[in-house]
Structure 1
C-alpha cells in the first residue's frame, strides 16, 4: 500500500485581484502559511500562470517550481476545467459558457471549440514540462439538456452524443498519452460524465483509452444521492486525482435533488466546508489508501455559508488528520510462527 499525499489546495476559488491572491507568489505564501504542501493551478488564470508559455518553455516551468519551492510547495496538477467544458457545448449553453473562452472566439462556437482543443494540447505539454502525471478537467456536455427523459428521448440520441464526445476527446487523450499524463475528468453534474454509468459509456466510446481517468470528488455524489464509497470500489483503477470537498443533502417537502431553482443556500443539496457536510471522509481516505491511491488530497473550497479563508485554514488541518501513514507490518505479526510446509501439511491432516 501507498500513502496519499497532502494537504494541497485548488487555487481557482481563491484567486482574486487583491493581494495576496493576485499573484502566484502571494497566494503560494498564503497557502504555505496554512500548512498546505501543494497547489493545483487553474491554467486559465493569467494572474497565476501562463499556459502557452509553460507549454513551450521548460525554463518558465522551472521558474514556477522554484517560486513554489521557496514557500515549501509543489505544483500537484494543472486544471483546464473551463477549457475542457468548451470542448463540447450544447447550443442551449452557448451564451452561458462563452465567457470561458478567449475574447477573439466568443460568439463563434466552432472557433471556440478549436480554441478549447488547442488549450488542452497546451496543457498536455505544460504538464510534461512540469513533470506532472495527471491533469484535471471537465468533459463538456452535449446531452445534458436531456438528462431527464421528458419528453421521451428518441432512440439513439444519447449514443450519438457520446460518439461525438468521444470523437472530440480521442485526439486530446492521444496527445496526453504522448507525454505520459492522465486526463482526469471531474465527474460532475452539468457534464456528460456525471456518474459511474456515464463514465463507463464514455470509456467504451474511446475504446478504453488508458489515459481516460477520474477526478474523484465525493461532494458531487452526495448531491446526486449516489453511494460515494461504492463508487471507489467500482472505479478505483481509474481514479487518479482527488478533490476533498464536502456536501450535504437534506431533502424536504419543498425541494429535493433538483433544487427548485433556488440559490445554493436554499437547496436541499449544498456544498459545505470540510467537516460540515455528510461525506464519510474517514472511509473515503481508508478506501483510497486500501486501493493504493498515492496522488494528492486537494482541498476544493465551495461552501454556501463559511468564509473561504476559514474553510481553507480548517481544511488544511482536516486533510492532515485524515492522511493515513500505511503500516509496514501486519498487526498480528507478533503471533507468527514461521513457515514450515511439513507443519502446514500436518495441521491440514495431510
Structure 2
C-alpha cells in the first residue's frame, strides 16, 4: 500500500494583487509556512510560463528548484479553464469568452483551438516537471439539457458525448505519449459530473488509459451522490484528489437545485475543512485501502470563512487524515511458519 502524499494546496483561489499572493515565490513561502508540502498550480494565473515549461527543460528545472528552496513541490498542473473551453454550448459563449484571451473572443472555433493547444502544452510541461497526473475540466455540450424537460430528442445526449470524445481523444493521446494521466474533476456544469457521465465518456474514447478522475467529494454531497461508494466503483481511475468540504441541508423551500440563491443561502454549499458533512476519515481509509498513488490537495471554497483561515486550518486537517500505511499485517506476529505440505495435511488432502 501507498501513503498518500500531502498536504497540498490548489493555489487558484489564493492568487491576488498583494504580497504574498501576487507571485509564485510569495505563495510558495506562504503555503510552506502553513505546513503545505505541495502546490497544485493553475496555468492561467500568471504564476509561471506554461509554454516555456513545455519547451524548455532548463526553465522547468529552474521552476522546480525555486519551489524546492521554499520547501514545496508541484503536485499537478491545472487547466480547469482551458479544459472548460474545449467544449462550450453556445448558450454559454459570452460568459466563457471572458476566460479566453482577447484575441479569440467571439470566435468559438479559435477559442477551442487555443484551449486544446494549451491543454496539450500542459502535457509536455507535466512531463518536464516529472508529474504523473494533470487536473482539468471536460467542458460541456449537453449541460443545458440536464433535466429531461422538455423531452430530449432521441440521440441528443449520445451525439453530445460523441463530440466530446472526438475533441478529447487527441488530447488524451498526447498525454499517453508523455505518460501523464488526465484527471477530470467531476463537477456540475461539466458534462462529466458523476459516475454515469464518466462512463459515457469512457465508452466514447475507447476506455482510454489516460482518462481518469479528480475526486472531489464536495460536488457529490451537493448532488446527493454516495461519495464513498463512488470510490468502491471507480478507485482504479482516481488519480487526483481535492480535499474539499460541503454540506447539503434541504428545506421546505429549496433542495439540490438551490433556487437561484447565493452560495450563502443555498441548501448545498461548500465549506472549509471540518465545517461540512464530508466523512474524510472514511475517504482517507478507502484511499489507503485502494492504494491511491497521488496527493491530497486542499481546494478552498467556502461561503462563510475567510480564505486565509481556511488555508491555515487545512494543512493540519489534511495531515491528520493521512494514514501512514502499515508495512505488515497486524497479526504477523502469530504466524505459525508452516509450509505447503503442512497446509495440505491440515486440509486432509496431504
Distance 1:298 1:186 in 2: 13
Matched ranges for 1:33-182 at <5 A: 33-46=33-46, 48-182=47-181
Distance 1:253 1:78 in 2: 42
Shift, 1:63, TM fit:
1.2
Aligned to 2:271: 272
Following TM superposition, by how much is the alpha carbon of 1:344 offset from its aligned partner in structure 2, in angstroms?
Answer: 2.4
Q: CA–CA distance in 2 between the matches of 1:292 and 1:163? A: 32
Partners of 2:342 and 2:208 lie apart in 1 by 49
CA distance in 2, matches of 1:283, 1:129: 35
SS in 2 for 1:21: coil
Name the counterpart of 1:203: 202
Q: Which residue of 2 aligns with 1:6?
A: 6
Deviations 1:224-249 (A, max 9, x none): 00000000010011100000000000
Alpha-carbon distance in 1 for matches of 2:169, 2:56 = 26
Equivalent residues in 2 for 1:221-232 (5 A)? Answer: 221-232=220-231
- Counterparts of 1:205-244 in structure 2 under 5 Å? 205-244=204-243
Q: How far apart are the structure 2 equivalents of 1:129 and 1:175?
A: 14
- Measured against aligned partners, the alpha-carbon deviations of 1:13-69 in whole angstroms (never above 9, x if no partner) come to 0001110000000000000000000100000111x1111111111111111111100
SS in 2 for 1:100: coil
Deviations 1:66-85 (A, max 9, x none): 11001111011100000000
Count of aligned pairs: 349
- Residues 1:320 and 2:319 aligned together: yes
- Runs (4+) of structure 1 exceeding 4 A deviation are none
Gaps in structure 2 of 5+ consecutive residues: none
Give the 3-state SS of the residue equivalent to 2:276 in structure 1: coil
Could you list the per-position Cα deviations for residues 277-331 of structure 1 after superposition, in whole angstroms to 9, with x for gaps in the alignment?
1111001001011111120000000000011011011000000001111111111
Which 5+ residue runs of structure 1 have no aligned equivalent? Answer: none
The TM-score normalised by the length of structure 2 is 0.98
Question: Could you tell me how far apart the structure 2 residues matched to 1:334 and 1:75 are?
Answer: 40
Following superposition of structure 1 onto structure 2, how do residues 289-308 of structure 1 map, counting pairs within 5 Å?
A: 289-308=288-307
Q: Deviations over 1:69-112 (max 9, x none)?
A: 01111011100000000000000001111111011001111111
In 1, Cα distance between equivalents of 2:98 and 2:171 = 22
